[in-house]
A = this chain, B = another copy of it.
Amino acid sequence: MKKKKDNMRALFSPESVAVIGASDNPGKLGFHVMKSLTKGEYRGNIVPMNPRSQQIMGFKCYTGLDAFDGGIDLAIVVVPAKLVPGVFRQCTQKGVKGIVLITAGFREIEDPAGAVLHEEIAAIANNAGIPVIGPNTFGMINFHWNLNASFTPEFSLLNKGAVALVSQSGGMSHLMGFLAMRLDVGFSKIVGLGNRLNVDFSEMLEYLDEDPDTRVIALYVEGVDKPNRLISAAKQYTGRKPIIVYKTGSARVGDQASLSHTGSMAGRHEIYGGGFRQAGMLPLRGAEQLLDTAKALAGCPVPEGPGVAILSGQAGPGMAGCDICEAKDLHIVRFTEKTQATINDFLPPLALRTNPVDMGPAWYDSAAIAGIVRAVLDDGNVDATLLFMMFASANVDAVERMSDLLKDWAQKKPLISCILSPPGIWDQQVKDLENAGALVNYPTPERAAEAMANLWKYRQLQSK
């Protein structure tokens, strides 16, 4: 077990990768795996293996592991299920440290032969201390190592970042990856656990806890064979890195779906929610909410209290944010007298000058906007700030002014925004502000407020 744990690092950061079942036929998954490695600009040794090819995508191809003289850290396996036990035996002989097993057809199939095969390869891998991602997975990506060990080269288009996504579903991993491109969420790892031969959520938590590239751990869960293992593993790491969870399978028929799909009963959603919370994990609903919250946790400090200020360039979005905050246990705080006096100086009497602040009437006065934002960020009553700005032509340079003000704002307290424009107008400035760590941006005020509420929920879990 100790050896398997040590091998996790080599699995995710290998010096050399063999693709067993590599192919130059686009109809085969072995083709797409080779594409992923090369398009992902993996810098280690790529060694395709296929007895019927001499060369694949410019790399010399070998008949098998025994025919290759060098060492192999990671083997990506895409051969038919019945060949897998033989391949695993070769891996142990070769001293392979980790395996990504893309092949399906084990425990999840109705034919009992699948379960027999599953036990057989599990015994081989466990005896040799080899951690295995899969079977029945699209693979995994370690972004900071330029390793795309999946059958989807497009994962390499994603930004590097601090969020590790560990998922029981390939479809949901693809969904969240492509959503993340639009939301500008960056990843450290995306891991498709598949049918979890010997690497489950608990092994991943143990590994990610020590992974220096990962600051936030996001889990997509369908069924957990041994929920106590996940929950006790999470308890061990509570408070070290945020762990957030989206679990499907609350539906009656969903349970049935989960049983057939991943070979384990999903269980009732309610049973898990409480256990997750007790273990310091924040349960969330929906792929977007998981990503939104991961983005906030990766890009923001957690608020020390529930007191929120809402600054809005227009009154409507401020009200929408207000509704969410109050419904989700955040408080719209009263400003200190000093802050209120400053705001009163900047805004005319017709404006909404108490929290939420409607900055609209000062929209064309950059000094006023800057003065209001600075006073509120510095206010001792304010734990966290929401900032909403909708583009209109007449204020095309509003974000530029905000950039000047915020570029050195160190995020001592969380600042979450919805700064929205037609495509191509404010996008780059908002990205620059995000990259500078000044704020975290969302497409609607409601989602911005929801992300803030989840930061506060996580803070409350921490203090339990």
Contact = CB atoms under 8 A, between A and B. Distances in A.
Contacts of A178: 390-391, 420-422
Copies in the complex: 2
B445 A253 contact: no
B248 A172 contact: no
Contact of A172 (B317, B322, B392): B317
A124 B352 CA distance: 29
Contact of A326 (B252, B319, B391, B425): B252
A312 B212 CA distance: 36
Contacts of A320: 172, 248, 286-287
A341 interface: no
Centre residue among A35, A157, A350 by max chain B CB count within 10 A: A350
Nearest to A259: B352
A249 B350 contact: no
Contacts of A253: 322, 326, 332, 355-356
B174 A323 contact: no
Interface in A142-183: 151-154, 157, 167-175, 178-179, 181-182
A86 interface: no
A350 B392 contact: no
A45 to B, nearest CB: 23
A13 B345 CA distance: 43
A138 interface: yes
Contacts of A256: 354
B392 A152 contact: yes
A250 B323 contact: yes
Contacts of A58: none
Given A152-B392, A391-B178, A315 B444 contact: no
12 contacts: A32-B393, A169-B319, A171-B313, A171-B315, A174-B420, A175-B317, A175-B390, A249-B319, A251-B323, A252-B326, A257-B315, A257-B319
Contacts of A168: 316
A37 interface: no
Contact of A443 (B182, B254, B323): B182
Contact of A258 (B174, B257, B319, B360): B319
A56 to B, nearest CB: 16
Contacts of A110: 349-350
B392 A138 contact: yes
Contacts of A152: 391-394
A197 interface: no
Contact of A315 (B169, B285, B425): B169
Given A181-B422, A222-B316, A257 B171 contact: no
A38 to B, nearest CB: 13
A316 B422 contact: no
Nearest to A29: B394
Contact of A444 (B27, B288, B393): B288
Given A391-B154, A393-B32, A286 B248 contact: no
A98 interface: no
Nearest to A260: B352
Given A314-B169, A392-B174, A358 B446 contact: no
Contacts of A360: 171
A12 interface: no
Contacts of A418: 175
Nearest to A250: B323
A102 B413 CA distance: 38
A327 interface: yes
